[in-house]
Amino acid sequence: MSAEAGTASRTSLIEARNVTRILPGIVPTTLVQDIDLSIRENEFVAITGPSGSGKSSLLYLLGLLDLPTSGEVLIRGRATAHMEEEERAFIRLSLLGFVFQFHFLLPEFTILDNVMLPMRALARIPVPTMRRRARELLGSLGLADHVDKRPDQLSGGQRQRVAVARALANEPPIILADEPTGSLDSKASEQVFQVLRELVDSEGKTVVAVTHDLGLAGRMDRRIELLDGRVVSDQKLQRATAAG
Amino acid sequence: MNLIFEIAWTHVRSRVRQTGFAVAGVATGVGFSIMMASLMEGSQNDFTQRLVDTLAHITVSDERRSPPPQPAEKFFASAEIHGLTPQARRPGIKNPLATMAALEAWLPGEVGPSVRVPGIIRYASQDVAVNIVGIDPNREPKISDLPKQMRGATVNALFRATNAIIIGDALSSRIGARIGANITVQTSEGARINAQVVGFFHSGVRSLDERTAYVLIKTAQILSKQTGLINELRIRLRDPLAARDIAMRIENETGYKSVSWQEANEDLLSSFIIRNMIVYAVVGAILLVASFGTYNIIATITHEKARDIAIMKSLGLSEFTVRAIFVVEALIIGLIGGLFGFLLGYLLCRGLGVIRIKSPFIDSDRLPLAYSYLHYLLAAGVALASSAVAGYWPARKAARVHPVDIIRGAT
């Protein structure tokens, strides 16, 4: 059992061990309870469930945005519960990319500057290289013509693709998406879905997406279903829809 | 670091009106601080300059710091002896020429002998107590500004009449004595002479102008009824600020009480300290009020930018970076405010320099202003420091925001 757990943590990118998160208060609210799951390289995972089932809370816990009340989240086998906040921030910056339901772009900055923000914060490569790489990223997402615009000059789908580009800025192996298509029409949400699909299929990224769109969830590789903060099903899906 | 500055600058720039008010607050604070410091130091310098110019830098008198005890007291220290007066001494500096020669050997300045006699001037049935100072008009230009302060005559006028006397202009207008008037001078020694007013002086220090009269040394010796008496050496130094130390050395070497101009005016100089404290308290209050404005704008920005802060933190920007962004914003406001404050302060000083006033305390009709880059540095330094503090608190609060709280609220 312990040997198996050891190998699992080596091959898994994100692992949740017995994670419980309770919001303190006069009436404590249990967001998620006793979650055990492991997400491996190059998986496209959907987290589904009805509203209030704890989908987003789980994603925040997996993305180190929130701390579990008990249990442990491991990133690449490293325990994170006892890390300093700065260290968790550094993991978010270098290993994780976030896409939220709302684009959350900085309104005063151009698209290019928004995409460069995580690179500048990490400061691993010289600024001209960052600029080139950000242009490439935006180009590959079909936004080459919009690099100097501000977020409010773009459509919802375009903004969400900028948010994806920003999530990819530091080439993280993991993309965490919280209802990435939640505020988009069907055409735009299909575009964003295809971008995520592409990341998994041709770039070897791991994508974990929270969604209540069962149609989209059905086209991912694995579906984890939550109900009242607990995992009720966790299944591999056929790649039948990939061709269609 | 560049990133921090860029974000900060963008935030500040996209709120021109709000930032403008905060900047104006700091600029006003800095400007008026500079003006007050300039006026303060200007008037202080002006006043000190007059003190230094008017008085001898060091006055060596024939007194002792404390009167020497009677020999009996020394010999019978354990017994208590009643009714002893201090030992009487012959007044005057002993062997004044030799003492002067000894001082001249090392003194970085000039020394001149004089005789000081307290006396009473009577004229037209008015009695005024004055200090009568016997001087050598030929030496006077080297040791005091009296020759420059003369009105209507030169110091050499003292040679022109028997018992010639020069009095302050305030004294002359008080007793109504004009040039050529014959006044009576009387001393406690019982001497009484008739003297002729040959000139006036105006030093600008009222206590001198009202209560001092100059005569020849010889005349003063007659008034004190002691031939050959020299009871005061007046010294002018090349560096007036060294007076305190040199006075101490003279006192150690000669044993005579040597009073530097600083010591003589200790009460005035210490009132400067209080004056400065008042000014710096007022200036500090102005800058403090200005920093409330800065606090306000930074708190507003962090409130408005809560979502951006959450997203920056969720992307992995550290708490330090987020905090630094807002502290830098406060510093930008402080810096721009400081620069505008420099301009305002300079213009205010210039403006004050144009105003003509009439003050009983100063002779010139312009406000005395001192221009010093130190005032600017000090005001800007305080403004920057208070901006940084004003920005730090909201920035710290903002940086502690939990990203999930805001992201969850938005979804």
CA distance B331 to chain A (A): 20
In this prediction, residue B359 carries a pLDDT of 63
Which residue out of A65, A101, A176 would a mutagenesis test of the B interface target, given it has the greatest number of B Cβ atoms within 10 Å? A65
SS3 string, chain B, reads CHHHHHHHHHHHHCCHHHHHHHHHHHHHHHHHHHHHHHHHHHHHHHHHHHHHHHCCCEEEECCCCCCCCCHHHHHCCCCCCCCCCCCCCCCCCCCHHHHHHHHHHHCCEEEEEEEEEEEEEEECCEEEEEEEEEECCCCHHHHCCHHHHEECCCHHHHHCCCCEEEEEHHHHHHHCCCCCCEEEEEECCCCEEEEEEEEEECCCCHHHHHHEEEEEHHHHHHHCCCCCCCCEEEEEECCHHHHHHHHHHHHHHHCCEEEEHHHHCHHHHHHHHHHHHHHHHHHHHHHHHHHHHHHHHHHHHHHHCHHHHHHHHHHCCCHHHHHHHHHHHHHHHHHHHHHHHHHHHHHHHHHHHHCECCCCCCCCCECCCCCCHHHHHHHHHHHHHHHHHHHHHHHHHHHCCCHHHHHHHHC
Contacts of A229 (CB under 8 A, 6+ apart): A30, A31, A32, A33, A35, A53, A54, A57
Contacts of B181 (CB under 8 A, 6+ apart): B123, B196, B197
Contacts of B19 in chain A (CB under 8 A): none
pLDDT in tens, A167-217: 988 889 999 998 888 878 888 888 888 888 988 888 888 999 998 888 888
Q: Are B118 and B223 in contact (CB under 8 A)?
A: no
User: Whole-angstrom Cα distance, residue B13 to residue B1?
Assistant: 18
Query: Phi and psi for B337 in degrees, rounded to 5?
Result: -60, -40
Burial letters for B54-78: b for 16+ Cβ neighbours within 10 Å, e otherwise? bbbbbbbbbeeeeeeeeeeeeeeee
Which residue out of A31, A99, A104 would a mutagenesis test of the B interface target, given it has the greatest number of B Cβ atoms within 10 Å? A104
Instruction: Kindly determine whether residue B10 and residue A92, on different chains, have CB atoms separated by under 8 Å.
Output: no
Instruction: Kindly determine whether residue B10 and residue A102, on different chains, have CB atoms separated by under 8 Å.
Output: no
In this prediction, residue A243 carries a pLDDT of 41
Instruction: Kindly determine whether residue A100 and residue B411, on different chains, have CB atoms separated by under 8 Å.
Output: yes
The number of C-beta contacts closer than 8 angstroms across A and B is 80
User: Whole-angstrom Cα distance, residue A198 to residue A219?
Assistant: 13
Instruction: Kindly determine whether residue B316 and residue A117, on different chains, have CB atoms separated by under 8 Å.
Output: no
Q: Are B93 and B233 in contact (CB under 8 A)?
A: yes
Q: In the predicted model, is pLDDT for residue A3 greater than 70?
A: no
Which residues, in sequence order, are bridge partners of residue B167? B200, B213
In this prediction, residue B235 carries a pLDDT of 92
CA distance A226 to chain B (A): 18
pLDDT in tens, A31-86: 998 999 999 888 899 999 888 888 888 999 998 888 889 999 998 888 888 888 88
CA distance B14 to chain A (A): 8
In this prediction, residue B115 carries a pLDDT of 93
Parallel/antiparallel/unpaired status of strands A96-99 and A78-79: unpaired
Helices A111-122 and A156-167: crossing angle in degrees, nearest 10, is 20
In this prediction, residue B393 carries a pLDDT of 87
Contacts of A85 in chain B (CB under 8 A): 319
In chain B, the residue whose alpha carbon lies closest to the alpha carbon of A58 is B404
Parallel/antiparallel/unpaired status of strands A174-178 and A96-99: parallel
CA distance A19 to chain B (A): 17
Q: In the predicted model, is pLDDT for residue A241 greater than 60?
A: no
Contacts of A125 in chain B (CB under 8 A): none
Alpha carbon of A200 to those of A48, A163, A221, A225, B389: distances in Å?
19, 17, 10, 21, 48
User: Whole-angstrom Cα distance, residue B320 to residue A107?
Assistant: 22
Q: In the predicted model, is pLDDT for residue A10 greater than 50?
A: no
User: Whole-angstrom Cα distance, residue B150 to residue B61?
Assistant: 25
In this prediction, residue B386 carries a pLDDT of 86
Task: Identify which of B25, B41, B27 has the alpha carbon closest to the alpha carbon of residue B279.
Answer: B41
Contacts of B313 in chain A (CB under 8 A): 89
Contacts of A179 in chain B (CB under 8 A): 411
User: Whole-angstrom Cα distance, residue A90 to residue B316?
Assistant: 6
ipTM field: 0.83
Portion of chain A with pLDDT greater than 70, in percent: 93
Nearest to B314 among A86, A98, A120 (CB): A98
Nearest to A89 among B14, B310, B317 (CB): B317
Contacts of A117 in chain B (CB under 8 A): 3, 312, 315, 317
Nearest to A117 among B315, B318, B320 (CB): B315
Parallel/antiparallel/unpaired status of strands B58-61 and A70-75: unpaired
Which residue out of B311, B329, B400, B401 would a mutagenesis test of the A interface target, given it has the greatest number of A Cβ atoms within 10 Å? B311
Instruction: Kindly determine whether residue B407 and residue A60, on different chains, have CB atoms separated by under 8 Å.
Output: yes
Q: In the predicted model, is pLDDT for residue A138 greater than 50?
A: yes
Cβ neighbour number for residue A72 with a 10 Å cutoff: 14
Segment (H or E) for A229: none
pLDDT in tens, B290-310: 788 778 888 888 888 888 888
Alpha carbon of A95 to those of A76, A92, A104, A172, B255: distances in Å?
10, 6, 19, 4, 84
Contacts of B10 in chain A (CB under 8 A): 108-109
Give pLDDT < 70 ranges for chain B. Answer: 1, 359-364, 409-411
Q: Are B334 and B386 in contact (CB under 8 A)?
A: yes
Q: Are A13 and A41 in contact (CB under 8 A)?
A: yes
CA distance A215 to chain B (A): 21
User: A210: helix, coil or strand?
Assistant: strand
Contacts of B402 in chain A (CB under 8 A): 66
| B→A interface, C-beta within 8 Å | 2-3, 6-7, 10-11, 14, 307-308, 310-321, 402-404, 407-408, 410-411
Can you give the pTM of this predicted structure? 0.72
Q: Which two tokens stand for residue A2?
A: 């312990």
pLDDT in tens, A98-109: 888 887 888 889
Instruction: Kindly determine whether residue A100 and residue B2, on different chains, have CB atoms separated by under 8 Å.
Output: no
Which residue out of A108, A175, A179, A183 would a mutagenesis test of the B interface target, given it has the greatest number of B Cβ atoms within 10 Å? A108
In this prediction, residue A1 carries a pLDDT of 38
In this prediction, residue B184 carries a pLDDT of 93
CA distance A9 to chain B (A): 24
Contacts of B4 in chain A (CB under 8 A): none
